[in-house]
Amino acid sequence: MIAGISGRVLKKSGNVLLVETKSGVVFEIVCDVQTSEEVKEGGECFLHTFLSVSQDGITLYGFSNEMKKELFLSLTKVSRLGPKTALKIISNEDAETLVAMIASQDVEGLSKLPGISKKTAERIVMELKDEFESAGIKDMRIYHESLEALVSLGYPEKQAREAVKQVYREGMKTSELIKEALKFLSHR
């Protein structure tokens, strides 16, 4: 529901930021290490956020770019992989490299990263490889957004992924990919 926060960084303690918005409400945002290093106390920032509501309470996670947030959301869908571990993985390697390692099923490489056991690396590759290497889609974000849009329109994920794989051509924008996929699905 809360997809982003822009405001002034009141305080930085490790990777937890306090960001004051114009209304006077200060949000506590848990980030990956690079994101927190990129912002300065007293400076303005805009973070792509994810609002997590669970038994442990309400936590707002924040990222300096959308790709890291998308990767965080994908990692937290992996079984027995919670937000803290996802954050640790993203803190120890840049997003592009991680996506490439997962797409190329590089279990070895992944398990060398702090916070990823061999078992966790295998689960990540097994559960996410389709998503990342599917149709050799260069831009994982466009793939992700189109899939999410089709699913939120009620199409089962499997059909949506099939359609995106069939109609994708290099250079397509998200809106074009969705339109082509909808046409493909309506003729099924």
* Contact residues: its own copies, CB under 8 A: 1-7, 10, 12-16, 18, 20-28, 30, 33, 49, 51, 53, 57-60, 84-85, 87-88, 91, 114-115, 145-146, 148-154, 174-175, 178, 186
d(CA 80, CA 184): 35
Q: Please answer whether residues 18 and 11 qualify as being in contact, where contact means their C-beta atoms are separated by less than 8 angstroms.
A: yes
- CA 49 from chain center: how many Å? 10
- The separation between the first and the last C-alpha atoms of the chain, rounded to the nearest angstrom, is 33
Query: What is the smallest separation between the CB atom of 118 and its own copies, expressed in angstroms?
Result: 17
Q: Please answer whether residues 64 and 47 qualify as being in contact, where contact means their C-beta atoms are separated by less than 8 angstroms.
A: yes
d(CA 188, CA 134): 21
In terms of CB distance, is 43 or 114 closer to its own copies? 114
In terms of CB distance, is 10 or 126 closer to its own copies? 10
In terms of CB distance, is 20 or 127 closer to its own copies? 20
Query: What is the smallest separation between the CB atom of 57 and its own copies, expressed in angstroms?
Result: 6
In terms of CB distance, is 105 or 132 closer to its own copies? 132
Query: What is the smallest separation between the CB atom of 33 and its own copies, expressed in angstroms?
Result: 7
| Residues across the chain | 188
Closest CA to 147 of 133, 131, 124: 131
In terms of CB distance, is 85 or 111 closer to its own copies? 85
d(CA 149, CA 170): 19
Query: What is the smallest separation between the CB atom of 107 and its own copies, expressed in angstroms?
Result: 20
Query: What is the smallest separation between the CB atom of 11 and its own copies, expressed in angstroms?
Result: 9
